[in-house]
Amino acid sequence: MIAELITVVFLSIGVIFDTLGVIGLLRFPDVYTRMHATTKATTFGSIFTTLSVIVYAISSYLGTIDPQFITLGVHALIAALALAFTNAVGSHAIARAAHRSGILPAQAVVDRLKEAGL
């Protein structure tokens, strides 16, 4: 009973943050702010969604001795870790490529890379 409630709460938090990431993607003015919204919000949302899968797997495993639920939890944990690292690296690569392409932010900012000649 309590595990099901925790699963629903984690899943709800994940869906809310994923939705906020989509809204940020649609509403923000330039590639940098859109990327920030989608990377931060969807990473956080996906981690909570994955946590709900892990809680579900653990609660299901406690009632039975089925190794399928252990596999589900371990795969979900590996997916969450991979997602956290690849989102950060991917957003950095996109921002760097946008900067090198000459795409400027919508608002004036201090550009240390341009000052350094990079």
Please state the domain extents for the chain.
Answer: 2-116
pLDDT at position 58 = 80
Predicted TM-score (pTM) of this structure: 0.77
The confidence score (pLDDT) of residue 26 equals 93
* Other beta carbons less than 10 A from residue 71's beta carbon: 11
Residues near 14 by beta carbon (within 8 Å), at least 6 away in sequence: 45, 46, 47, 48, 49, 50, 51, 52
Position 23 scores a pLDDT of: 94
Mean pLDDT by 10 residues, the chain (118 residues): 89 94 91 89 91 83 69 83 90 89 77 72
Predicted local confidence at residue 63, as pLDDT:
64
Q: Is the dihedral of CA 13, 19, 25, 27 positive or negative?
A: negative
